Structure 1
Amino acid sequence: MRKDHIKIFCLLFSAMVFAQPKKNDPNTLSEAGKSINVYTTAEKSDLKLSKTQTLEFTKAGQPVEKDISVFVEPKKQFQTFMGIGGAITDASAEVFAKLSKEKQQEFLNAYYSKDKGIGYSLMRTTIHSSDFSSGSYTYVKEGDKDLKTFNIDHDRQFRIPLIKRATETAGGKLLLYASPWSPPAFMKSNNSMLHGGTLLPEYGQAWANYFIKFIKAYEKEGMPVWGISVQNEPMATQIWESCIFTAEGERDFLKNYLGPTMAKAGFGDKKIIVWDHNRDLMNQRANVIFSDPEASKYAWGMGFHWYETWAGGEPMYDNVGKVQEAYPDKNLIFTEGCVEKFDVSKYQIWANGERYGASIIHDFNNGTVGWTDWNILLDQTGGPNHVGNFCLAPIHADTTTGELIYTPSYYYIGHFSKFIRPDARRVSTVPSRSQLLSTSFLNTDGKMVTVVMNQSGAEVTYNLMVDNQTAAVTIPAHAIQTLVYQLL
């Protein structure tokens, strides 16, 4: 072969080699997986987590201002996703026990199966009673400061069996964390578990020891405890179980009692969540606790709720981002939210689902790593609740008929929990118009999940733009979509 022919052959071969797609680049759309599976839930339709479209990416051009677009940039990644779930309260467990075996399995699948349901991976529970119990109780006899009578027999009847069955349905693993609503009455300034009050200084160590007893008892039952929060809603004096901790009070209990006691007991790896209350005051609480090195070293992060709207204002989503900005080494977790004030006529009110969708998107886009709903199940009265604080849940059971009632909130949560899996990474995602809200996560298997919510009363066609690829997607009015597509 002539030298000039050899040279031409080598040049052609090199061009072919270097023209091959970079299959190991995690930020490049897969040539073999350019299709987008679209799942939709929409008002005034039968669409409920329904697969509605399979689309194909095409090469993108410059978007123009009249277009509506959702821009996804896989190279810009943020926090690691921990999970989404709900709380197994006494109320939920008591209602579950009244269901038939068939309905119990349907319910478990609905929440905890990745294939048959929405794949919850996170669980909260209470340390003894909350308002969503049939009555107040603790794990010790009144006055037992040495905790010699400590036992969790109360939980064995309803709550522990449900936790175990939920965990089994989820594949044997759920991250479980627990929160107290109040110390026992004898440890408090008002000598009552209800109506606020404060922890008496002389019971700081006994109350810290109580947490240790709880963790050990639950883990002896084969239920690993991932973490605890210091106090549910520490600035709310409620007619139900409640206890007030100022920011300084929570800081000092954490650094002087709870943190050292957890470490001494060999539970230094358990996560401790501070605040566990609304977004309105979370920044002040973060400043006080996280600015104290001796307290901060024990705090994994901060939990928050969504009830700041009780005062008539809008949700304070930006406060979450401000904590993340100020304390980037701390984690943020949404620990409770529900639709307050039960009304049987509002089971199917669409705005309730949209409240969940908006909160989840904003909270994750502001740095949240996990999101936990309140009661996973309530009955046809919005309870049981021993002080009449009846609320809505994503699923209700009518214990007179045995029927399970699925609300829009269930489906809106499912657009996230079913598709975004633990250890996914959040990816930069920005809509170009205010009608749409959106967030994206990259799962460890290379699948990208983009959730888009249409808050408007009109159908919207938007361009999903990823790298230099685009696809036109239509979303109905008052709808939420999950788009699943492959990145290598």
Structure 2
Amino acid sequence: MKRLIILILNLFVIIMASSCKSTNENKSNDLKVEVVETSRNGHQLTKIDSFNTVEPKAIITLNPQKTFQTFTGFGGAFTESSAYLLNQLSPANRKKIIDAYFADSGAKYSLMRTHMNSCDFSLSQYSYAPVEGDKNLKHFSIKEDQPDLIPMIKDAMAASENGFKLFASPWTAPPWMKTNNDWVGGKLKPEYYDTWALFFSKYVDAYKAEGINLWGFTVENEPHGNGNNWESMHYTPEEMTKFVREHLGPKLEKDGKGYLKILGYDQNRAGLKEWVDVMYKNEANAKYFDGTAVHWYESTYKIFAEDLQYAHNKAPDKYLIETEACVDAQVPVWQEDDWYWRKEATDWGWDWAPEDQKYLHPKYRPVYRYARDIIGCMNNWVDGWVDWNMVLDRQGGPNWFKNWCVAPVIVDPDQDEVYFTPLYYTMAHFSRYVRPGAKRIDFESTDKDLQVTAATNPDGNHIAIVFNPSQEEKVFKLQLGELTKTISISPQAIQTINIAN
């Protein structure tokens, strides 16, 4: 009997040891991950520690040995409208918003845009060179930027632990330099090409005197124009290329500013092929162009993947940056998160698009449009993605033209209230976790409903971003080499998965 008891105890020890060994082996095969999720059911960059344990139906396999573009950054734009609104808030709420975008605890924006001279998201129309015929720009002044715009940029710089790259875009030259002597439309007169190039150089000096260093420029915001609505100036691809090749590039180089990046085009992707064909036609044309800028307008859902790939292949060693996107022609919805996930939230383009193009502008969910576009851009060689206004009011302004739009953060300055919309959290899934210098990596996904992208950060950590637009929870196995992790993602949700190296 005693022997039987000993035998049973020994057998129990063996079974337990085997079980522990199996458990330890399973644990050793687990990827170490940190997961944050934003979802329609209320998650806001919420850390997820437990997952559905059902057998996964899909596999996402990461292949960090195969890399693509290096990311420049993610961010938004400093506009006079946003800066003015921040100055109407209490110091505590101003700091709350700045920190949410730039602090290490926030979205950590790393690539930023601003406007030279006024734009539609200004309080009025103005130019830094208001004196007609001032070809040497003796009266050049950025005084209009000093009350609001410059303090906002400086506060962002102070809050940002790792800093950010800042580029500027003109909407128009001062009217006296243009063929139609107007803020809207027209072209730059050939006799003012040198003056306009000098304008860029003086802008760099003026901002440097304020303690703000520029990273670069786009040559012109929306050179096709904007329907003759607000500030604009037209170029053909040949005209812009000539201006850069013979005036802007040489001027910046002569003034010791050759380090500044020059991005051409800066409008919708549908016209991209025509522009890069001219910009990169030969070495002389391409010399001063450091890259190409694009916007997301013209279609609600189409990424224009072929056009982006074409642009990359034309100049694989140059930048390809998405420089403006927003939910436009829309008054923001105040403190109603679900609106941003709703199927028929907004219908940008429907009221003006020709009948044969209305199919490109269906009703859409704002969160879906952001997540889908950023992932699609990342997977098609875009190396930077920049949102438009960071802060707007409950009307979607201020905007001198009344061109109302939505921003990730909406404020009510009269009540000193701040609303972080789901678009803020969507942007942060990318900007906070995919850092400058990260490289996009290869992946495979067996679930075509899930939209996926992946990158390896400079610190060696791998990042996977998964968007689930379906109305059901998805369970998938994430695989990296021999290591795996079963992860569940909520219905209508976006996740960022940080995999420690």
Is the 2:60–2:476 Cα contact (8 Å) retained in structure 1? yes
Aligned-residue offset at 1:325: 2.3
Aligned-residue offset at 1:240: 0.5
1:260 partner letter: P
1:338 partner letter: C
Q: Aligned to 2:45, which of 39, 44, 49?
A: 49
Residues 356-371 of structure 1: matches in 2 within 5 Å?
A: 356-371=370-385
1:228 partner letter: F
Secondary structure at 1:450 match in 2: strand
Aligned equivalents of 2:333, 2:124: Cα separation in 1: 27
Aligned-residue offset at 1:162: 0.4
Residues 19-418 of structure 1: matches in 2 within 5 Å?
A: 34-43=31-40, 45-53=41-49, 67-115=57-105, 117-143=106-132, 144-171=134-161, 173-194=163-184, 196-237=185-226, 238-309=228-299, 314-345=302-333, 348=337, 349-350=340-341, 351-418=365-432
Aligned-residue offset at 1:292: 2.9
Secondary structure at 1:250 match in 2: helix
Aligned-residue offset at 1:343: 2.3
Aligned equivalents of 2:309, 2:444: Cα separation in 1: 16
Is the 2:73–2:110 Cα contact (8 Å) retained in structure 1? yes
Map Cα deviations across residues 13-53 of structure 1 (whole Å, 9 max, x no partner): xxxxxxxxxxxxxxxxx97994111111110x221100012
Aligned equivalents of 1:345, 1:217: Cα separation in 2: 38
Is the 1:302–1:333 Cα contact (8 Å) retained in structure 2? yes
Aligned-residue offset at 1:265: 0.8
Aligned equivalents of 1:331, 1:446: Cα separation in 2: 23
Aligned equivalents of 1:32, 1:106: Cα separation in 2: 41
Is the 2:31–2:484 Cα contact (8 Å) retained in structure 1? no
Is the 1:429–1:439 Cα contact (8 Å) retained in structure 2? yes
TM-score, structure 2 normalization: 0.86
Counting aligned pairs with the same residue, the percent is 36
Aligned equivalents of 2:259, 2:87: Cα separation in 1: 34
Secondary structure at 2:109 match in 1: coil
1:463 partner letter: K
1:199 partner letter: L
- Partner residue, 2:463: 449
Aligned-residue offset at 1:172: 6.2
Secondary structure at 1:396 match in 2: strand
- Partner residue, 2:4: none
Aligned-residue offset at 1:114: 2.0
- Do the aligned partners of residues 192 and 72 (structure 1) sit closer, same or farther apart at CA in structure 2, a change above 3 Å counting? same
1:126 partner letter: H
Is the 1:33–1:485 Cα contact (8 Å) retained in structure 2? no
Aligned equivalents of 2:369, 2:299: Cα separation in 1: 12
Aligned-residue offset at 1:171: 2.0
Map Cα deviations across residues 154-210 of structure 1 (whole Å, 9 max, x no partner): 11110000000001101262211000000000111110112x111111111110110
Aligned-residue offset at 1:481: 0.4
Is the 1:38–1:54 Cα contact (8 Å) retained in structure 2? no
Aligned equivalents of 1:76, 1:200: Cα separation in 2: 48
1:345 partner letter: V
Aligned CA-pair RMSD: 2.0
Aligned equivalents of 1:145, 1:266: Cα separation in 2: 21
Secondary structure at 1:477 match in 2: coil
Secondary structure at 2:405 match in 1: coil
Is the 2:31–2:485 Cα contact (8 Å) retained in structure 1? no
1:46 partner letter: G
- Do the aligned partners of residues 33 and 458 (structure 1) sit closer, same or farther apart at CA in structure 2, a change above 3 Å counting? closer
- Do the aligned partners of residues 345 and 376 (structure 1) sit closer, same or farther apart at CA in structure 2, a change above 3 Å counting? closer
Secondary structure at 1:345 match in 2: coil
Aligned equivalents of 2:324, 2:305: Cα separation in 1: 14
Aligned equivalents of 1:36, 1:454: Cα separation in 2: 19
Secondary structure at 1:435 match in 2: coil
1:455 partner letter: P
Aligned-residue offset at 1:468: 2.4
Secondary structure at 1:157 match in 2: coil
Structure 1 stretches of 4+ moved >3 Å = 30-34, 344-348
Which runs of 5 or more structure 1 residues have no equivalent in the other structure? 1-29, 57-62
Secondary structure at 1:224 match in 2: coil
Alignment of 1:473 onto 2:487:
yes
Secondary structure at 2:146 match in 1: helix
Is the 2:409–2:418 Cα contact (8 Å) retained in structure 1? yes
Is the 1:308–1:315 Cα contact (8 Å) retained in structure 2? no
Number of residue-to-residue matches in the alignment: 446
1:215 partner letter: V
Aligned equivalents of 1:50, 1:432: Cα separation in 2: 26
- Partner residue, 1:14: none
TM-score, structure 1 normalization: 0.88
Aligned-residue offset at 1:153: 1.0
- Partner residue, 2:359: none
Aligned equivalents of 1:434, 1:31: Cα separation in 2: 29
Is the 1:354–1:409 Cα contact (8 Å) retained in structure 2? no
Alignment of 1:425 onto 2:419:
no
Aligned equivalents of 1:277, 1:242: Cα separation in 2: 12
Is the 2:218–2:262 Cα contact (8 Å) retained in structure 1? yes
Secondary structure at 2:83 match in 1: helix
Is the 2:303–2:377 Cα contact (8 Å) retained in structure 1? no
Aligned equivalents of 1:225, 1:48: Cα separation in 2: 33
Secondary structure at 1:481 match in 2: strand
